[in-house]
């Protein structure tokens, strides 16, 4: 099992309404989809005001919290994904959800999420979402 960015963000800060659930859910997880890690890094370093974290603190958190593999697609898997997204009419920001889904699936991981909309797309693309 691996978390998507919604779970990574929630697990990172006590200010998040689902923090406790997310922390419990990621306990023992070490591998993360590379793109989900980057999405979480982006979010956590651009949140408004007191919620924003310094980039160095976020990088340290991610490295320590998820010390395992940064999963990605190989060239052939990426090309296949682009064609599939195009054929299914998946565009815009949903493309990145598709990338996360395809990567988790290619590596045999279920995908932990707090995002109901993304979970539907994950499932549509053959990933195995687990909603918190």
What is the domain-level CATH number for residue 100?
3.40.50.1010
Residue 102: give the domain boundaries: 2-131
**Strand runs (DSSP E) across the chain, as ranges?**
2-3, 32-33, 70-71, 111-113, 129-131
Residue 67, Cβ density class (10 Å: 0-12 exposed, 13-18 middle, ≥19 buried) = exposed
Task: Return the bridge partners of 2, or none.
Answer: 111
Taking the C-alpha atoms of residue 15 and residue 77, their distance in angstroms, rounded to an integer, is 37
> What is the per-residue pLDDT across 20-55, written as a single tens digit (0 to 9) for each?
999 999 999 999 999 999 999 999 999 999 999 999
The residues, any chain, with a CB within 8 Å of residue 54's CB and separated by 6 or more, are 45
Beta strands 32-33; 111-113: pairing state:
unpaired
Domain count, the chain: 1
Q: What is the pLDDT of residue 111?
A: 98
Q: Considering only CA atoms, which of 6, 40, 41 is closest in space to residue 130?
A: 6
Task: Tell me if the pTM is above 0.75.
Answer: yes
Q: Which two tokens stand for residue 97?
A: 């959800």
> What is the per-residue pLDDT across 68-123, written as a single tens digit (0 to 9) for each?
999 999 999 999 999 999 999 999 999 999 999 999 999 999 999 999 999 999 99
């Amino acid at each position: 099992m691996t978390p998507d960015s919604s779970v990574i963000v929630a697990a990172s800060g006590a200010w998040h309404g689902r923090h406790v659930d997310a922390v419990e859910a990621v306990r023992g997880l070490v591998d993360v989809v590379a793109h989900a890690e980057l999405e979480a890094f982006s979010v956590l370093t651009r949140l408004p005001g007191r919620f924003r974290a310094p980039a160095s603190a976020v990088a340290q958190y991610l490295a320590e919290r998820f010390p395992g593999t940064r999963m990605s697609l190989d060239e052939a898997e990426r090309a296949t994904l682009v064609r599939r997204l195009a054929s299914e009419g998946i565009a815009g920001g949903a493309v990145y959800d598709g990338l996360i889904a395809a990567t988790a699936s290619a590596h045999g991981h279920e995908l932990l999420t707090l995002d109901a909309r993304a979970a539907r797309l994950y499932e549509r693309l053959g990933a195995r979402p687990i909603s918190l």
